[in-house]
Amino acid sequence: MKNLTEMRAVFSLLLFFILLLTVAQTGYSGGSAEKAMVSSPEYQERPVLESSLFRSDKDSLGEDAIQRILSSKLVVPNIISIALYRIQESPQQAIRYYGYGYWRSEEYLKVQQSFISTIADEISRSDRVLEVVSLPSLLTPKEPTIAVIRETSVRLQADMVMVFTITSDVYEKYRMFQTNQAKAYCTCEGFLLDVRNGLIPFSRIVTREYLASKEKNDANFNETMARAEREAALLSLKALGEQTVEFLSQLPRAVTSAQNLQPLDMDMYQELLEF
């Protein structure tokens, strides 16, 4: 029995050294960027889908429309404008931290603005994005359909729309004789909607976490929990923006010949090349 135990220990140690040697030779990869289907040569051989085949949100697609969409490709302009639309979550979370009149809280309004600013700033880092705007709430109902979001984006002359939502939860951890902590998890789900044809070429679900300890300037533990959820949400929005920029960088660019431009367009063409 003793010999068997020693053999198992030696065998486990041997496997450990083999694994260590393998990692040293091949290196460790923290995960490579996911390749977008629209960048593949096979996808680029498809015919261009010039217009939307989605007539309305209520009508189902016919078989011909389905086959045409699946056999066509999406073409995105070299320089685009992206609109932002956030699907609002349940108000219960805001009520928990800011009370029933949360919409009148200065802190609440600042937090909501920081969410929009974070994802807008990240997406703006793409060299293909000229402008990032928000869809006006005055033109969108509380539960808009894809058709309504698309029509509103047309009025802004936006090429694409980033539709996203934020859901989060926080877990309390009380520790005797130590600082209490709150750990928050936030999931940000978002997709890009092409305004011209109604296709969704990009969709991601990102989850991030943040651990916050109660600080001296926290009036109560609720403020610690709110801070944990806010930071987790900012991390997930930042990650979604970064992945959006990575996707846009993989989209093929249209090649424009200077010979096909009018003399008055030459200055604009040169500015685009330098952009």
Q: Which residue has the higher pLDDT, 194 or 180?
A: 194
CA distance 261 to 254: 14
The per-residue pLDDT for 275 is 54
Q: Of 18-27, 65-74, 184-193, give the lowest mean pLDDT range.
A: 18-27
The per-residue pLDDT for 4 is 43
- Per DSSP, the three-state class of 127 is coil
Quickly list DSSP for 11-56. Answer: HHHHHHHHHHHHHHHH-----PPPPPGGGSHHHHTSPB--S-----
Segment 169-193 mean pLDDT? 79
The per-residue pLDDT for 20 is 36
CATH top class, domain 79-250: alpha beta
Residue 176 scores a pLDDT above 50: no
Output phi, psi for 269, to 5 deg. Answer: -65, -40
The separation between the first and the last C-alpha atoms of the chain, rounded to the nearest angstrom, is 74
Residue 211: which residues within 8 A CB-CB, separation 6 or more?
181, 182, 183, 184, 228
- Give the predicted TM-score (pTM) of the model: 0.74
Secondary structure of 80-93 as H, E, C letters:
EEEEEEEECCCCHH
- Going by the DSSP 8-state scheme, the letter that residue 265 receives in this structure is G
Please, which pLDDT band fits residue 28 given cuts at 50, 70 and 90?
Answer: very low
pLDDT digits (tens, 9 = 90+) for 111-123: 889 999 999 999 9
Place of tokens 């290196």: 27
Segment 212-223 mean pLDDT? 75
Comparing C-alpha atoms, which of 220, 246, 256, 184 is closest to residue 38? 246
**What does the CA dihedral 138, 106, 103, 186 come to, rounded to 10 degrees?**
90
The per-residue pLDDT for 48 is 83
